[in-house]
């Protein structure tokens, strides 16, 4: 787990994969890898449109394909069952859109890295006290860099990841405000390029994000 924590601190970027067909996952992930991405989050489907088992199978396929080259985790994790499925599939970290004590506890028990989401100072500190390794500030653009900077004053012991609406235009603002890194989905995975099978364009965009993020730390 410590290796994952250090890698997140070093890479500062987790790419969020949501709603991508199973057959597109490995080509997409390879395109991301070619652009320098080393951390990929595959999200569970909260509305049940994709079963938890299928999502876990997708995570497992990526884990087997990449080995240690890329670290695969799960996103939109809302239940202990999803934590168990992720652990069995070989996923390394658990990311949630909320702070759920049971999910955090199950994550830590499974030896995985815990990244729950929070919005307020109370939620941020609670997540930290429950054992979160990072706290995902979500949706961060609804709060803005000034909010992040203000929260970092009294809560500078909690490493924060900025997620939700982050793109090339505001990465620097959030880095200056004190976040440890970013989770980025639709702004880095161009759905039009994906639909067209233009993986070279996806790699190029990924490389721009990776280069920009690394230049901020």
Q: Does 136 qualify as catalytic in the annotation? A: yes
**List 11, 92, 108, 136, catalytic entry:** 136
Please answer whether residues 1 and 9 qualify as being in contact, where contact means their C-beta atoms are separated by less than 8 angstroms.
Answer: no
User: At a CB cut-off of 8 Å and minimum separation 6, what does 59 contact?
Assistant: 42, 72, 73, 74, 86, 89, 90, 91
61-65 long-range Cβ contacts below 8 angstroms, 24+ apart: 61/22, 61/25, 61/26, 62/25, 62/26, 62/29, 63/89, 63/90, 63/91, 64/90, 65/26, 65/29
**List 9, 21, 41, 80, catalytic entry:** 41
User: At a CB cut-off of 8 Å and minimum separation 6, what does 150 contact?
Assistant: none
Q: Does 53 qualify as catalytic in the annotation? A: no
Please answer whether residues 107 and 82 qualify as being in contact, where contact means their C-beta atoms are separated by less than 8 angstroms.
Answer: no
- Strands across the sheet with 117-118, in order? 113-115, 93-95, 71-75, 39-43, 13-17, 181-184, 160-163, 135-137, 117-118
Give the residues across from 41 on adjacent strands: 16, 73
Residue numbers annotated as active site: 41, 136
């Amino acid at each position: 787990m410590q290796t994952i924590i250090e890698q997140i601190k070093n890479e500062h970027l987790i790419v969020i994969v949501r709603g991508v067909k199973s057959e597109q996952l490995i080509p997409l992930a390879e395109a991301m890898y070619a652009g320098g991405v080393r951390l990929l989050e595959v999200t569970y489907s909260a509305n049940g449109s994709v079963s938890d088992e299928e999502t876990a199978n997708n995570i497992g396929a990526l884990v087997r394909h990449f080995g240690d080259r890329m670290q695969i985790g799960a996103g939109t994790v809302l239940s202990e069952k999803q934590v168990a499925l992720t652990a069995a599939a070989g996923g390394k970290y658990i990311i949630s859109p909320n702070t759920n004590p049971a999910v955090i506890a199950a994550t830590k028990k499974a030896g995985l890295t815990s990244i729950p989401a929070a919005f307020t100072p109370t939620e941020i500190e609670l997540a930290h006290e429950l054992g979160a390794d990072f706290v995902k500030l979500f949706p961060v653009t609804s709060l803005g860099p000034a909010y992040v900077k203000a929260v970092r004053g009294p809560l500078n012991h909690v490493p924060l990841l900025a997620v939700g609406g982050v793109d090339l235009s505001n990465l620097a603002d959030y880095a200056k405000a004190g976040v440890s890194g970013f989770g980025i989905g639709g702004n880095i995975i161009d759905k039009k390029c994906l639909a067209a099978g233009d993986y070279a364009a996806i790699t190029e965009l990924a490389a721009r994000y990776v280069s920009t993020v690394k230049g901020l730390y």
